[in-house]
Amino acid sequence: MIKLHDVSVSFGERTVLNSLSLDLTERRIAIIGANGSGKSTFARLLNGLALPTSGEVLVHGLNTRKKGRDVRRKVGFVFQNPDNQIVMPVVEEDLAFGMKNLGFSKDDIATKTDEVLARYNMSDLREHPAHLLSGGQKQLLAISGVLVMAPDIVVMDEPTTLLDLRNKRRIARAVAALDQMVITVTHDLDLITDYDRVIAIDEGRIFADGTPPDVIPAYEKLMS
């Protein structure tokens, strides 16, 4: 569970998020909003990549300000551009990176690498250079790199923005099959129709919060 208590974020004079208080408990939560609405900053608050200017964010009771490293172990983060998330030159090396940082044994690293590559039909790409993967494969690798670290929660910042329709659907299926709680920041309304909860952010405040049938039409009206 993630709890935001009276959270505000400002960059200089500009207030990006304004006094948000929320409990995030549902299995699938989407954050939607226009460009510059503060939704990416919101996502980054959830694993301590960004810290609130005031208020606090608690993940399973851990304050992101004081326990950032522990929080990041529980909350995996998938970035919009997988090219900026894949840090090792070869697929299996990148998968091993997070696990090595968490102190996994060599056997565990090998087992988990096998599992995740098989799960996404990427076993033949094990020794493939990361920069030669397709866009969809890169995003799957980025997601896999997070999943092998066994987080309780996965936050995704616009995971389908750079992808074509086929790869968007591939990622949507991959996300749907995850056991973890998933919080997705997105512009892609098709991706979130079966989510449990949608939170629409506008100018740093919550504009609407509820189920997809309640929030998406209101959001579309706002955007028009």
Partner 1 sequence: MLDLYTPGSSFLHRLPPAPKMLAMMLGATLLFINQSLPVTIAATLVIFALYPVAQLTLKQAFAQIRPLLIIFVLFFVVQWYFSGLELAAYVVLRLAALILLASLVTLTTRSSDMIDTMTHGLSYLKPIGVNPEKVSLAISLALRFIPVLAQITREVREAQKTRGLERSVIAVAMPMAIRAIKMADDISDAIDSRGYRS
Residues that bind partner 1 (CB under 8 A): 44, 47, 49, 69, 72-73, 76-77, 79, 81, 83-90, 92-93, 96-98, 101-102, 127, 129-132, 145-146, 149
**In angstroms, what is the minimal distance from the CB of 187 to partner 1?**
18
Q: Please list, in sequence order, all residues whose beta carbon lies within 8 angstroms of the beta carbon of residue 102, skipping any fewer than 6 positions away.
A: 73, 149
**Residue 6 vs 108, nearer CB to partner 1:** 108
- The size of the chain, in residues, is 224
Q: Render the burial of 23-41: b for 16+ CB within 10 Å, e for the rest.
A: ebebebbbbbbbeebbbbb
98-107 contacts at long range (C-beta below 8 A, 24 or more positions apart): 98/145, 98/146, 98/148, 98/149, 99/148, 99/149, 102/73, 102/149
**In angstroms, what is the minimal distance from the CB of 83 to partner 1?**
6
**Residue 79 vs 195, nearer CB to partner 1:** 79
**In angstroms, what is the minimal distance from the CB of 222 to partner 1?**
29
**Residue 55 vs 68, nearer CB to partner 1:** 68
**Residue 87 vs 223, nearer CB to partner 1:** 87
**In angstroms, what is the minimal distance from the CB of 47 to partner 1?**
6
Q: Render the burial of 100-116: b for 16+ CB within 10 Å, e for the rest.
A: eeeebeeeebeebbeeb
**In angstroms, what is the minimal distance from the CB of 72 to partner 1?**
6
**Residue 34 vs 90, nearer CB to partner 1:** 90
**Residue 143 vs 198, nearer CB to partner 1:** 143
- Choose among 116, 123, 185, 170: nearest CA to 148: 116
Beta bridge pairs of residue 11: 14
Enclosing H/E stretch for 156? strand 153-157
**In angstroms, what is the minimal distance from the CB of 208 to partner 1?**
28
